[in-house]
Chain A
């Protein structure tokens, strides 16, 4: 079991309340996944050419100063670091490939959790309510957010195996279920030079779908190919630069419910995750059907 939650605010006036509305969703789904949690929040878009990187360090009191100094020395550019304990968001104008390769080589203990112009990721092990407090989730602002509470079935309980998983830029996925052919998918992708960071099944699905979008598929086309390539049980919630997408496998044995109003689209594994949202009892409530695409654009 795992819990998935997502919220896309249509009403710009609600963007400042994104975190505050999201946290009770995550906390209510803690009983479905009490051991790790995480979220991806999509904030204001950085200027063309700028990128931000969410980084994870192995210790809460990690000293980020040497990393920042080495980064400036290596790239010769100014970088902004926003530190929250063992997480930091690095903002600069260096492209993702160069930064990731450098960080992997010089700071192998650090994880680059995400890259893009809009995405910030926070994920860790522990109870979702503690994680929400640890990283000030109620204060997050933005257009859309994708969150997850994890009860592991595949691979160990570690921060890098918590969800969301990311691939490429401004692309993340959370998953409730189990993919049964992740190594087959992985072997196909590794032949194309795509690098994996964990042994987790969800990472294979994330990298497959993101690879399809880089090959020219729309998100919808990529998800259709996912129905053919990804075997197993899943409810996926995907966040991109400007979209949220929700799909369930043909057997649909992993739940989800959607509430849509003029102000927002909210997704949760169970209704109790939505019960606190303003106007939810007058919302359009529905359960996503198996192998149907549900895509919302900011």
Chain B
């Protein structure tokens, strides 16, 4: 290896140790200095559950967070490929626009909330309200999801490789949910539907992207019955 290659590698990598630097310093670098810096990869050490790590990134970069994340890890992400080597708190990848956020451990509540695009992969379990109000994001959960997941989900796909909790897909719009395990209960206006060849193809691609070895034929499809789309003044004649 020649010296130029070593130099190039050094400038392409950067490390933020949050035991010494603040989350604000990290995020200011990501927002104002990353573009044009040549940095392609960032290690974040000692996250220790801090909130808002790597939020609002607007540039392609690989970020490895080595430990436990707090709330809103990778929130509003555009373009970046973020991996958390641990668990995360509430609202991971909330309002993500594009790029990828991968959580090696479990995710607390409201994972991927209101996400517009990109892919959120949670290798462990996701807690309550996973994918609440999602607007186009794809979320793949290796384990189970908690109650009220995909509540008012508008667009995108939520893939659940384990079981789903109560009120799955309550008041769903056009998002589609694929569940491999048991569903404790469906929410209002959510219904189980037959898988089509298009579903199998789409799900196969999502599982491949996430790196989970499951067969799309093992999954059920849940989508909106669309009966809440229009006000029904005659409903039960109780109004």
Contact = CB atoms under 8 A, between A and B. Distances in A.
Co-assembled chains A and B: yes
Interface string B84-96: 0011011000000
Contacts of B146: 252, 289-290
Q: Is the interface of A mostly helix, strand, loop or mixed?
A: loop
17 contacts: A252-B109, A252-B128, A252-B147, A253-B109, A253-B128, A270-B49, A271-B87, A271-B89, A272-B48, A272-B51, A272-B70, A275-B49, A281-B67, A285-B68, A285-B87, A287-B108, A290-B146
B128 A271 contact: no
How many B residues touch the partner, as a band?
20 to 34
Contacts of B71: 270
B50 interface: yes
Interface of B: 48-51, 67-68, 70-71, 86-87, 89-90, 105-106, 108-109, 127-128, 146-147
Contact of A270 (B67, B89, B106, B127): B89
B64 to A, nearest CB: 16
B48 A275 contact: yes
B237 to A, nearest CB: 30
B127 A287 contact: yes
Nearest to A250: B147
Interface of A: 251-253, 255, 257, 270-275, 281, 285-287, 289-290
B70 to A, nearest CB: 6
A97 B68 CA distance: 48
A290 B166 CA distance: 11
B108 A290 contact: no
A217 B89 CA distance: 35
A288 to B, nearest CB: 10
B90 A255 contact: yes
A282 B127 CA distance: 21
Contacts of A253: 109, 128
Contact of B108 (A255, A273, A275): A255
A270 B147 contact: no
A286 B109 CA distance: 13
Contacts of B68: 271, 275, 281, 285
A273 B50 CA distance: 10
A287 B48 CA distance: 16
Nearest to A248: B128
Contacts of B128: 251-253, 290
Given A252-B128, A290-B147, A270 B70 contact: yes
Contacts of A272: 48-51, 70
B144 to A, nearest CB: 10
Most buried by A among B90, B105, B128: B128
A274 B105 CA distance: 17
